[in-house]
Amino acid sequence: MNRIESIFNELKNQNRQALIPFITCGDPNLDTTLATMTKMVEKGANIIELGVPFSDPMADGPVIQLANERSLENNTSLTDVINLVARFRKQDNKTGIVLMGYLNPIEYMGYETFVARAKTAGVDGVITVDLPPEEAEVFDGLLAKENIAPIYLLTPTTSSDRAAKILEKCKGYIYYVSLKGVTGSNQLNVQDVSEQLGRLRQLTQLPIAVGFGIRDAETAGEISNIADGVVVGSVLVNKMAELTRQPEDEIATEVALIIQGMRESMDQHC
């Protein structure tokens, strides 16, 4: 069983939801990324989405775009990201790790090389934002051989017919984009999300995690009432940007406090 599946099964038995923070790897540096990952787990994160920096992150808003730029200024590569996962695994073999990014760095490395390195490092899932499932047969096949989950995005504009086709390809969990827009938007409507999730649950048994627009503990708690997982990114990345010149322990601690508040709110809503 994939580590992600085990996490969701365990949480379901506890009547709890997965808290899934996103941070950009290498922003402001690799050591701070590792320290922040560790602290977030201590405060209640179950799965970490680790952003692979890319020059044109089209699905991301200004906050995460700038994080990509800062990371690339440090010359952070896909190899660096994978190596960081391996470092994390030396201290944590339970938390799920999902790499989230765009296709170009993977194609440059080569599908087979990427999948082999990701498996060795301890990666559990991959979100490739700009790879449509119709063009992912080879890549998904390689991931399947190594029990790494291909995770796809669904949006409010995804038709039921298209959603069914995407869900056939998806493993681990579904990433439901809660609104029309980029990461960091602040127009989330919980009722609309609830209705969309009801539609999707008729098509799949996979856990559904909701992201985009979750900016505080209250929102995380509300979403945890209707979803199997809560994905939070921009508020964490923004906090890291505010503290970018501070010591890594201070950055990690401040980001982890946000996670702690969300975890507490989510558990109260169980």
CA 96 – CA 243 distance, rounded (Å): 26
- The CA-atom distances, in angstroms, between 35 and each of 27, 52, 102, 224 are 12, 17, 24, 26
DSSP per position, 226-253? T-SEEEE-HHHHHHHHHTTTS-HHHHHH
Just list the catalytic residues: 49, 60
User: How many other C-beta atoms are found inside a 10 Å radius of the C-beta of residue 119?
Assistant: 17
Q: Which of 1, 55, 81, 11 is nearest to 229 (CA)?
A: 11
Contact 251, 32 (CB under 8 A): yes
185-221 CB burial, b ≥16 within 10 A, e <16: beebebeebeebbeebeebbebbbbbbbbbbebebbb
Give the containing element (helix H, strand E) for 177: strand 174-177
Classify strands 47-51 and 208-211 as parallel, antiparallel or unpaired: unpaired
